[in-house]
Chain A
Amino acid sequence: EAQVTQNPRYLITVTGKKLTVTCSQNMNHEYMSWYRQDPGLGLRQIYYSMNVEVTDKGDVPEGYKVSRKEKRNFPLILESPSPNQTSLYFCASSVTGGGQPQHFGDGTRLSIL
């Protein structure tokens, strides 16, 4: 089954404790992206990747890191999480950039105390 898989689905942690949210897709997509979703603000892009070893900042990259060492994986790293990073996070992938449909993971709800 074609899918984007994120882990964990839920996480409660404390300020300053490094964490990684994993994202994996099995569709051989070149483009992958991370979003955060906050009430009233919609989806905001954090980082995106056009292909392996190619990453770029979206609209709200501060406090986040990503890497794209393999085509299928695109982890999101919070080196020193803070409470303002409490949010719902989505990973997505598509064949390429442009107007190609994005396939979203089920989301990760992150709470930072």
Chain B
Amino acid sequence: GQSLEQPSEVTAVEGAIVQINCTYQTSGFYGLSWYQQHDGGAPTFLSYNGLDGLEETGRFSSFLSRSDSYGYLLLQELQMKDSASYFCAERDDKIIFGKGTRLHILP
């Protein structure tokens, strides 16, 4: 079956850098997406990696290595507003989400 594994919680300090990992076991893998969800809110799209390598969007970057079945989301210059849950997702037509990583940011 298909599954994506990510840590349940990560804690970092304001202004620092944090990396959230995602490993996957899927057949017919197409690419990895990342979403952010604040408490009480809807998920919002952050990035997508269809090819190996790094994608950068402002303070957020995402990386994919197909040979290692692994990806990560990198958040730089952490701000308190980045406190949220982060989900990796693999998609073709059917979409599988990881269970999410809760990011706690300390002042």
Contacts and interface: CB of A to CB of B under 8 A. Distances in A.
Interface of A: 31, 33, 35, 40-45, 48, 50, 56, 58-59, 90, 92, 97-107
Closest 5 CB pairs of A and B: A101-B45, A42-B99, A104-B42, A99-B48, A43-B97
Contacts of A56: 93-94
A105 B99 CA distance: 19
B95 A98 contact: no
Interface string B1-43: 0000000000000000000000000000011010100000111
Nearest to B32: A99
A107 B96 contact: no
Contact of B93 (A41, A50, A90): A50
Nearest to B4: A42
B45 A58 contact: no
A33 B35 CA distance: 16
A97 B31 CA distance: 11
B30 A58 contact: no
B95 A58 contact: yes
Contacts of B45: 101-103
B94 A98 contact: no
B92 interface: yes
